[in-house]
Structure 1
Amino acid sequence: MSNSSLFAQTDLQDVRIVASDLDGTLLLPDHTLGELTKNTLKKLHDQGMTFIFATGRHHIDVESFRASAGIPAYMITSNGARVHSPENELLYSKNLPENVIQPIVDIIKHDPTHRIHIYRSNDWLTDKEDLKLSQHHQESGFNYALFDVDNAPTEDIAKLFFTHPDHDHLAEYEQQLKEKFGDQISIAFSTPWCLEMMAPHVSKGDALQAVAHKLGKDLEHCIAFGDGMNDVEMLQAAHKGLVMGTAHSKVMQALPNNEVIGCCADEAVARYLEDHLL
């Protein structure tokens, strides 16, 4: 039995912060919030707990989920490059270094099978149409504009990411990027098909610590849920980090002692909170 599974239920009485990833974790497979999840989040708020949406998505996109849930939640977005308060105040912001943007784009721009995306503070740019990805943002209506790969914007870049249906193919680019840029950037997979680059030392874990500090708490008061490699630092930082049963094998390997729960289709996060915290 792992240390995580020995976590006593009485310890959960001290939890004041709950953080969760969205896609593959809190959201249903159609990328919406289920009714059980909405009701559970309202109960958490009514009992004085702070909820944090912690995601690779853009904060404009996440605002719609916060509104749908009907609670004043914090938002960790772009994998930790941005943090917003319940009042939408920008609490934390880190941009990719301007001098690395075009060189990163140049590595992959000649490969037509990939799509290149950029998140800035107020918009989403991509090098070609991606209607499937647009469907992930149907609830918010947040959508992209096209940019020129030979003249990529360099200012105010929260993250840059590549999408491709073959994880192994993206992993080859991950290795190239690490060799070329080293500690100039942070790299993480948000899904097996989405490779993301942020500023150095940006992660959901660091952003979670920033929110806890703002609240005057420490992460001994926090539990977190996730399913992607971009969730690993957050799940390690929280007092109890729970891994979705549908998580990629790399996540399971990185967190072998963390408790595994069900899948997003069954609203497993809400069910866990109802059974163990509420």
Structure 2
Amino acid sequence: MNSELKKIKVVISDLDGTLLNTEHKISEYTKTIFKKLHDENYLIIVATGRHHLDAHSIVSQLDCPVYLVTSNGARIHSPENELLFSLDLESELVKSVFDLEMDPEITTVLFKEEIWQTNHHNEKLNDFQKESKYLPEIVDFRSLEDFGGIKFFFTHDNHQTLVDLKDRILENHSDHFCHAFSLPFCLEFMHKSVDKSVAIAKILEKEAFTFEEAIAFGDGFNDEKMLLSTGKGLIMGNAPDNFKNKLSHLEVIATNEKDGVAKYLSEYVLNTAVSV
């Protein structure tokens, strides 16, 4: 084990495109590795853009204590599922964005506490939520009264369409929201002070660890600061090329479909060979 990995006491991972395979599930091999991490007293943090109700049902399958950072940092839950931190968006600010004229083919989503509201039935989004208790509600945003929520996002098959929308939104809202492309077809907006790395810092302080003692895995631009903050940041082989190029100094590992996170942890952190 090299010197930077000898310091590792904390394991941080994104979910979609990272810890989850292409069917949006945690493999049995990954579960085995994370159980061993827990047995060897590593602190485990999952940091995702997903809503906490959605993410909790997934990480519970790991069958070990996990801190959960959700909605890109707008919520932190303890391993006992206690809410430790929350930050919401102001209704009027969100409404001013939703009032913009948009391509009707863009799917718009607003994350509420108990449901997610959307203007379209979108099979690609529904595939991410197959076993979730966090359910969608089709709404007409033109008649909605309360736009308060945790985050909002837009999805469209054409990446440039979303880039153009991002630029229009930021013309008047750069002081109000931060944004990220979690996937090339998914543009997310959160409260200006929300970021996975900020939420993770709160957990590390609570548990008396530092970023230098953490290893992190991610595949999207909402993982960027998280990967750059930790002692060892690793990019999934399935990440978009423009993300890999931007962080070209970081190591690229195997894809999520090939259990890249678990295999790296097994070989370089746990120094053990666990058969698939």
TM-score scaled by structure 1? 0.93
Residue 140 (structure 2) pairs with residue 130 (structure 1) = no
For 1:7-48, what per-residue CA distance to the aligned partner results, in whole angstroms no more than 9, with x for missing partners? x62332221111111111111100000111111111111110
Q: Tell me, which stretches of 5 or more residues in structure 1 are unaligned?
A: 1-7
Q: Which amino acid aligns with 2:96?
A: P
Task: Report if aligned partners of 1:224, 1:235 keep a CA contact under 8 Å in 2.
Answer: yes
Q: Which amino acid aligns with 2:128?
A: H
Q: Within 5 Å, give how 1:43-54 maps onto structure 2.
A: 43-54=36-47
1:206 aligned partner: 198
**Equivalent residue in structure 2 for 1:84, among 71, 77, 88:** 77
For 1:159-216, what per-residue CA distance to the aligned partner results, in whole angstroms no more than 9, with x for missing partners? 0000101111101111111212112111111110010000012111111111111111
Moved more, 219-228 or 154-163: 154-163
Give runs of ≥4 in structure 1 deviating > 6 Å.
Answer: none
Residue 171 (structure 2) pairs with residue 179 (structure 1) = yes
1:3 aligned partner: none
How many Å apart are 1:259 and its aligned residue? 0.8
* Alpha-carbon separation, structure 1, partners of 2:138 and 2:216: 35
* Alpha-carbon separation, structure 2, partners of 1:257 and 1:274: 23
* Alpha-carbon separation, structure 1, partners of 2:134 and 2:112: 13
How many Å apart are 1:146 and its aligned residue? 1.9
RMSD: 1.5
* Alpha-carbon separation, structure 2, partners of 1:154 and 1:86: 31
Match of 1:149, SS?
Answer: coil
* Alpha-carbon separation, structure 1, partners of 2:133 and 2:46: 18
How many Å apart are 1:154 and its aligned residue? 4.0
**Equivalent residue in structure 1 for 2:256, among 264, 271, 277:** 264
Task: Report if aligned partners of 2:21, 2:256 keep a CA contact under 8 Å in 1.
Answer: yes
Task: Report if aligned partners of 1:54, 1:79 keep a CA contact under 8 Å in 2.
Answer: yes
Task: Report if aligned partners of 2:5, 2:232 keep a CA contact under 8 Å in 1.
Answer: no
Q: Within 5 Å, give how 1:202-241 maps onto structure 2.
A: 202-241=194-233
2:159 aligned partner: 167
Q: Within 5 Å, give how 1:15-94 maps onto structure 2.
A: 15-94=8-87
Identity %: 38
Distance 1:77 1:202, change over 3 A: same
How many Å apart are 1:257 and its aligned residue? 0.7
How many Å apart are 1:253 and its aligned residue? 2.9
How many Å apart are 1:151 and its aligned residue? 3.5
Distance 1:239 1:44, change over 3 A: same
How many Å apart are 1:218 and its aligned residue? 1.2
Moved more, 36-45 or 131-140: 131-140
Q: Tell me, which stretches of 5 or more residues in structure 2 are unaligned?
A: 271-276
> Aligned residues, how many?
270
Q: Which amino acid aligns with 2:21?
A: L
TM-score scaled by structure 2? 0.93
1:117 aligned partner: 109
Task: Report if aligned partners of 2:4, 2:232 keep a CA contact under 8 Å in 1.
Answer: no
Residue 40 (structure 2) pairs with residue 9 (structure 1) = no
* Alpha-carbon separation, structure 2, partners of 1:132 and 1:153: 27
* Alpha-carbon separation, structure 1, partners of 2:134 and 2:37: 27
* Alpha-carbon separation, structure 1, partners of 2:17 and 2:150: 22
**Equivalent residue in structure 1 for 2:240, among 248, 252, 266:** 248
